[in-house]
Amino acid sequence: MGGAHPYLSLVACLIYVAVAGTCSLAAIASQTSTSRRFWVMGAVFFLALATLRFTGIEAYVTNGLRGWLYEAGTYQDRRDIQRPLAAGAVVALSGALFFFYWKRPKPRAGPREWSKFWGMLGIVAMGGVIAMRLISFHELDRLLYGPIKMNWILDIGSSALVMWAALRFRKLADGGPSGRRPPMVNSSNRRPR
């Protein structure tokens, strides 16, 4: 298991597997094929993240890129490559977030649509965190791995957002469009007067 700390990587793997599990539960509770497909893709995404973290592939790719720059004799000039990549990643992430803001559900949309929206935002944010880690730009490293540990805040925060959205979607799907089960109509359940 690669990465900075094996126990933290194991915790991250467990979190990703838990998020994938909640996405799977939301997919099972989905009433439309679009929702089911969305939550299945979320589960696959987080299972892929768990695999990447557990096997150390993410760290391997980062170290491989670093080694390639050393061999090419351009490691000292890596910032010339990393700056445009970092700027491009920030622009792409900002564009994706703006797109989701523009395509957000209408205020009167059902709570399940809002749950899917928040789940998608969490997935996009997680993708941005991974892109920033792979770029491994010195200034970004100070932000991600510095005293505040933004890497873990963003990683765990994105995962928690997706998990919350999936659990909320499942709860609402079990309870119908409003999220509440219809009242039982049975004369034996009436209160005595």
In a domain, 189, yes or no: no
CB-count exposure of residue 5 (10 Å: 0-12, 13-18, 19+): exposed
Q: Is residue 186 part of a domain?
A: no
1 in a domain, yes or no?
A: no
Total domains, the chain:
1
Confidence at residue 182, expressed as pLDDT on a 0 to 100 scale: 44
Query: Does residue 29 fall inside a structural domain?
Result: yes
Identify the CA nearest to 123 among candidates 46, 65, 47: 46
**Per-residue pLDDT tens digits for 59-105:** 787 778 778 877 877 767 767 777 787 788 888 888 988 888 888 88
Show the CA angle centred on residue 91, arms to residues 118 and 89, nearest 5°.
85
**pLDDT digits (tens), the chain, 193 positions:** 444 567 778 888 999 999 999 999 999 999 899 999 999 999 999 999 999 888 888 778 777 877 887 787 776 776 777 778 778 888 888 898 888 888 888 888 888 888 999 999 999 889 888 887 777 655 666 666 667 777 788 889 999 999 999 999 999 877 654 444 444 445 455 554 4
Q: Which residues contact 117 (CB under 8 A, 6 or more apart)?
A: 100, 104, 105, 165
pTM: 0.75
Is residue 188 domain-resident? no
Residue 50 structure tokens: 């768990």
For residue 38, the enclosing domain spans 6-176
In this predicted structure, what is the pLDDT of residue 77?
Answer: 72
